[in-house]
Chains A and B, each alone.
Chain A
Amino acid sequence: MTKPRIIACIVAALLIGGVVTAFAVVWRPAIAAIEPPAPQSFDTALVKQGRDLAAIGNCNDCHTVRGGKAFAGGLPVPTPFGTIYSSNITPDPETGIGRWSEDAFRRAMRSGVDRAGSHLYPTFPYDHFTNVTDEDDRALYAFLMTRPAVHVPARANDLSFPLNQRFVVAGWKLLFLRLGTYQADISQNAEWNRGAYLVEGLAHCGACHTPRNALGAERASASFSGGDVDNWHAYAINARSPSPVPWDTEALFSYLRQGWHSDHGVARGPMAEVVSNLSSVQESDVHAIAAFMTSVFGLPPDRLRQASDIRTRIKSPPPPSPTNTPGASIYAAACATCHDTDRPLPYGGVHLGLSTAVSAPDPRNAANIILSGIGPVEGERSPIMPGFASSMTDQQISALLNYLRARFSNQPAWTGVEKTVADARISQTVFLQTSQGPHNAPADPMQRDKP
Chain B
Amino acid sequence: MMTLKVNGHDHQIDADPDTPLLYVLREDIKLNAAKFGCGLGQCGACTVIVDGKAVLSCVTPLLLLEGKRVTTLEGLGTIDAPAPIQRAFMEEQAAQCGYCIAGMMMRAQALLQKNPKPTDAQIRAELEPHLCRCGTHMRILRAVHRAARLMDTAELSPSSHGSTP
Taking beta carbons and an 8 Å cutoff, which residues of A are in contact with B?
Answer: 324, 326, 328-330, 332-334, 337-338, 375-376, 384-386, 388, 390-392, 396
Contacts and interface: CB of A to CB of B under 8 A. Distances in A.
Given A375-B128, A386-B129, A390-B54, A334 B60 contact: yes
B112 interface: no
A326 B55 contact: no
A56 to B, nearest CB: 30
B59 interface: yes
Interface in B123-138: 128-129
B64 A396 contact: yes
B128 A391 contact: no
B64 A386 contact: no
Looking at A324, A333, A392, A396, which has the most chain B CB atoms within 10 Å of its CB? A333
Given A386-B129, A391-B50, A332 B39 contact: no
B117 interface: no
Interface in B102-148: 128-129
B64 A391 contact: yes
Q: 7 nearest interchain CB pairs?
A: A333-B61, A386-B41, A329-B18, A390-B53, A332-B18, A329-B17, A391-B55
Given A376-B128, A390-B54, A330 B64 contact: yes
Q: Assign chain B's interface to a size class.
A: 20 to 34
Interface of B: 16-20, 39-42, 50, 53-56, 59-64, 128-129
A450 B62 CA distance: 35
Given A326-B17, A376-B128, A386-B56, A392 B64 contact: yes
Given A384-B42, A391-B56, A334 B129 contact: no
Given A329-B61, A386-B56, 19 more contacts: A328-B18, A329-B16, A329-B17, A330-B18, A330-B61, A333-B19, A334-B41, A334-B60, A334-B61, A337-B39, A375-B128, A376-B128, A384-B42, A386-B41, A386-B42, A390-B54, A391-B53, A391-B55, A391-B64
A392 B53 CA distance: 11
B50 A337 contact: no
12 contacts: A326-B63, A329-B17, A329-B63, A333-B19, A333-B62, A334-B41, A376-B128, A386-B41, A386-B56, A388-B59, A390-B55, A391-B60
A329 B64 CA distance: 10
Contacts of A376: 128
A384 B42 CA distance: 7
A98 B1 CA distance: 69
Contacts of B53: 390-391
B128 to A, nearest CB: 7
A174 to B, nearest CB: 46
Contacts of B62: 333
Contacts of A338: 40
A337 B17 CA distance: 16
A334 B63 contact: no
B122 to A, nearest CB: 11
A337 B40 contact: yes
A376 B129 CA distance: 8
Contacts of B39: 337
Nearest to B50: A391
A344 to B, nearest CB: 14
A324 B64 CA distance: 14
Contacts of A328: 18
A333 B40 CA distance: 10
Contacts of B17: 324, 326, 329
Which has the most chain A C-beta neighbours within 10 Å: B19, B55, B60, B128?
B60
